[in-house]
A and B are shown apart, each in its own frame.
Chain A
Amino acid sequence: MSRVVYDGTPIEYEPGDSLAIAALRAGQHPARGGTLCLAGDCGNCSAIVDGTPWVRTCQTEARPGAMVQRHPNGSHPSPGGPEHHTQVTVRHRSADHVVIGNGDSGAAAAAALRSEGHDVLVLDEADGDEVVGVFDGPSIIVRRNDGIEHFHVHHITLATGAAEVHPVCPGNLLAGIFTPKAAAKVQAAGLDLGNVVTVGAELKAFHGEGRVSEVELVDGSRVSCDNVIVNLGSAPRDVLARMAPLVPVQIVGPAAEAHALPAAPQEGVLCPCGKITVEDLDGVWNKGFHDLELVKRSSLCGTGTCQGAVCMPHLRSFVADRSGVEPKPFTARPAARQVSMAEAAAGYHIDTFRRTPLHGEHTKLGATLDKFGGWFRPWNYGDAVSEYWAVREGVSLGDVSTLGKMMVSGPDVVEALERLYPNHVHDIKVGRSRYVINLNERGHVLDDGMICREGDTRFLLTFTSGGASTAEMWVRDWVETWGLKVHVLDRTVSHGAINVTGPLAGELLRRAGVSDDDRPKFLQHRHIDVAGIPCHVMRLSFTGEASFELHHQIDQSVELWQALMELGAPLGIKPHGLQALFGLRLEKGHVIVGQDTELDSTPRRINMDWAVKLEKDAFVGRDALIRTASLPDERRLFGFTMDGPAPLEGSVIRVNGDVVGHVTSSWDSPMYGHAVLMGWQKRLPHADVVEIDGREARVSAVPFYDKEGARARM
């Protein structure tokens, strides 16, 4: 005989034994107690097998040297170690008709479908295809020994049969209790159940120490025994059918038949997964939870590993007894069988984080890269403060390739943009640009960016890096809704962009072959060669200094970057990362949509009414802004200054001890030697002095730096 190790003790098994049968052969319960169905329906035989918890030992064939441990008494097992989190192969397959279950009814259903000319795939646990989930789609998740399979199917027939009903009464967690089919399996394996008693609805309680030694019947009599077979009938094995209520699943055979509910439970553990008792259910019932779903959610009965396979008939009977109405079964959640984290994650990927064409340059320069707005971006190049001073006093490069960029063209483009944006568009001259915000229908700020006019019927729009991915949908959706003729092309991943910024930015461009006459003035944009590379140069400023965004084809990004770094070396050029940029723009009072704004921030709340022209006939959000303009509004974004180190972003802002808002942006300003911040006050009257981190902070007008905006125009 071969051996497995159960709780550190070698036990022998016969060929073909499951681990549960092997345990029973050694005189042990495979877990710690509870009715055994040996059909995979309940979790009463679950144990840790070779380090993986929640394995149903009745469904797991014994193999030499298998290490089995019972779950800890009274608590859940820890997840398996790293060795159990290895990658699991996933295969995606398609099928027309899938029949789950190859018993009599499944085989008949498959035969009938094939006779009608359908292509039919039959999945059955006995063949190693363990269906663990049914999802909308429809799709079916199947666990096999060699990995996970995702089936994309058109029609599902469920022929999973019926499960035997477990007893609910005092003592039902003892060892030595079997359903009739489980007892038959045990006896077929050659095990002697000794003095075995068979009971049905007359059962009242089990008695014994660790395992059953007496059965008490409703008439008060007691019967001594070694093991008990409990025959309470069966219930549909419908966990998979209850998983995706929107999926049209055809149920056949015993799984589709009506089964009488057992008598209402009076005492004992009703949900063996969560050890939830009838007394627990009485507690939630008395609190007023009377709907089956509410009883389930408030007691957690039915949310365990079997998803109601064991407790459902009793729970329905409990509710029917007390309410007088027999409730329908509740929804089940995947997985129908326990799966490992690796199995659950098979085939799923983390979000794609894109790289700019300058990724390699940043790496070479020693940048610390971080993930922002769906991109890898340089956080700093080792010294954010020196990067800051390069922008304020010299010249610096920033990789802004991640900005959203969109070409729009067409006979109706001006009309479309006038309706999209709250600012005027028609009067933007060719070669000029304008800052704009985007609003939704409720007047809340979605994003911001620039409009650059390229021709009478052609514009380039920019958006924030984080907003770029939804910008195209936003523009297309509105243009199609209005039925306007506008072509839209997202250029975000096709165009690189380098921001040349600082008081010496103009000098660097001069050294790169751009004459003073060709260099665009503030809010102008031009197509010119820079260092011999065709660029669309936009003059604007986010840092507060003179800035030129050089937009170009991505295959020339590295060449342009390297040329500018080389030409700028005598000027002390340094690249800057996001850490410095966030501080620079904060000193200038520029908000970052999504960081300084909230989902319901209106232009008024962020002090940007100036970017809204309510005199326009129509634009997205106009009606909402007009309606809310006359309403009192306590929320305002403020600038603050405070001594000492800058508080963490997200810090609470208090007035007289009461929370009134939080810090959205925070920076130790090298320029001023104190912290500059932005944050919300959401309660009137707005205070001039607030408390942050137990320190005093004073409201300060923004921008903190260069209030006249002269430096951006240098």
Chain B
Amino acid sequence: MPLDIEAVFRAEYGRAVSVLVRFLGDIDLAEEAVQDAFTTAVRRWPETGVPPSPAGWIITTARNRAIDRLRREAKRDERQAEALLLHTRDAPPEEGPVRDERLRLIFTCCHPALAPQARVALTLRLLGGLTTEQIARAFLVPEPTMAGRLVRAKAKIRDARIPYRVPRDADLPDRLKGVLAVVYLIFNEGYGGSPELCTEAVRLGRLLTGLMPDEPEATGLLALMLLVESRRSARQDADGGLVPLPDQDRGRWDGALIAEGQGLVRRCLRRNHRGPYQIQAAIQAVHSDAPSADATDWGQILQLYDQLLALTPSPVVALNRAVAVAETEGPGAALGLVDVLDLDAYHVFHAVRADLLRRLGRHAEAGEAYEKAARRTGNPVERAYLERRRREIARP
């Protein structure tokens, strides 16, 4: 696909599918129609140039394609076609401003009656326009497995009639939490080594904050992702090795993303309707503020972790809080907090312990903890980093 069409595809695929789902009442038909329209664009645009409203052009073309297709198939299934042709009379005329139906689509994709993995896959497929193969690769499952997952999820939406709408006010807070969890899951999956997923998660975050500007947790999640994303290129050294936060070259952080993220943090905290994403974003904002690792305001980070722990009491949050305690009260105090946590299967738990033991001069125990951490991570870059730390400590 030529670059300019590729860009339109990335930006507008989800919007086009969402409008067509609403129009056709069927996800598969909508996807086919939009793909048809992009195929036509690839043929025509190089001659005609990109139209003034690419999204409008794609949607109008997709709609016409769908109508043509259904007319052709009318003899096969008269009733459906009739119903649809009736429906098309209400259709908006030509390429006017396009209504945004993406919010409906994302709430359908993230419906709690679908399996969590299916929610993630559907969101990436229908809103992000990722191919089944791309999604399968990012989640390390065979393509047929992922294809099956998507087919079953779409069949359930159709057969169980999962509604295509934004939930009522009473259900909205819970349902939005589910949508944000899917977006954050996509981001975290990408953090482990598929940057295109991070980009997609940020795009979805922007979409949600754009469509629901009054939801501070949606803004908080976007801010959190932007601030973490701002450090992407500093997180790897020239050999692809992991560089932890204190050792990163802060000059390589992306200033524009930081400014945007910090602006969003300030905006949502002013509303004083705090939630876990906003607080996590605020913690990242404090890190982003520090010109050097030593200049980090750990007292403020500890306060924020106290708030986070009160809102979401979990051993993982307690572990992260202990890291801040190590900076304010010393590694001994932090180790006492870490040792009582029941997180043996979590590699970060062992990595944090290893670091605290190392700082306390207990090198033999630290080495063992690094080894445990390395054994428990599935990510090769993290494993290489942890093994390097273990070797460094073994050398006197």
Q: Is chain B found bound to chain A in the same assembly?
A: no
Binding site for A on B (CB under 8 A): none
Binding site for B on A (CB under 8 A): none
